[in-house]
């Protein structure tokens, strides 16, 4: 793999997949990975512009402003890329302390124990209360 080309503009230096996406990991200030999603050029540019995480929703086929329904937005403190420029790491402040649609702090709450995945983190808020309309 080639290292990041520092002679290109910040957006062009990144390695986008065939669908124009790049994986993005959201990590809170304490170091916990709270979420994984994809970004396209537009969502990354909007994230940089507004200072809050904006992802590309592959299921909805549109920009997804994290917290647009739940209010659990992610304030972006910094954005880094790996040496190859094919993954982003967002240092974020998770407003409200809930990143997952299940009402947990992190989307990474299932832990392998023996031969089974077991939820290892508590639900902080019932999703029906978060997404009540």
> How much is the pTM?
0.91
Question: What residues of the chain score a pLDDT lower than 70?
Answer: 1-2, 133
Q: What are the CA-CA distances from residue 72 to residues 2, 5, 69, 83, 127 (Å)?
A: 37, 35, 8, 30, 12
- Asked if residue 67 lies in contact with residue 47, where contact means CB atoms within 8 angstroms, the answer is no
Q: What is the pLDDT, as a whole number, of residue 80?
A: 97
Tell whether the torsion through CA atoms of 2, 78, 47 and 63 is positive or negative.
positive
Q: What are the CA-CA distances from residue 62 to residues 1, 40, 98, 115 (Å)?
A: 31, 10, 22, 37
Q: What is the pLDDT, as a whole number, of residue 1?
A: 56
Q: What is the pLDDT, as a whole number, of residue 5?
A: 85
Query: What is 22-100's CATH number?
Result: 3.10.20.810
Q: What is the pLDDT, as a whole number, of residue 133?
A: 58
Residue boundaries of the structural domains of the chain: 22-100
User: Which tens digit of pLDDT belongs to each residue from 102-112?
Assistant: 999 999 999 99
Q: What is the pLDDT, as a whole number, of residue 53?
A: 98
């Amino acid at each position: 793999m080639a290292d990041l080309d520092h002679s290109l503009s910040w957006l062009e230096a990144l390695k986008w997949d065939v669908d124009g996406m790049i994986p993005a990991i959201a990590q809170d200030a304490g170091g916990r990975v709270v979420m994984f999603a994809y970004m396209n050029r537009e969502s990354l540019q909007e994230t940089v512009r507004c200072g809050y995480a904006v992802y590309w929703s592959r299921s909805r086929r549109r920009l997804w402003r994290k917290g647009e329904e739940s209010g659990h937005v992610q304030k972006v403190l910094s954005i880094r890329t790996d040496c190859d420029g094919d993954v982003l790491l967002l240092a974020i402040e998770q407003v409200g302390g809930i990143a997952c649609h299940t009402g947990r702090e992190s989307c990474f709450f299932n832990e392998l124990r023996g031969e089974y995945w077991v939820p290892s983190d508590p639900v902080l808020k019932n999703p029906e209360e978060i997404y009540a309309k």
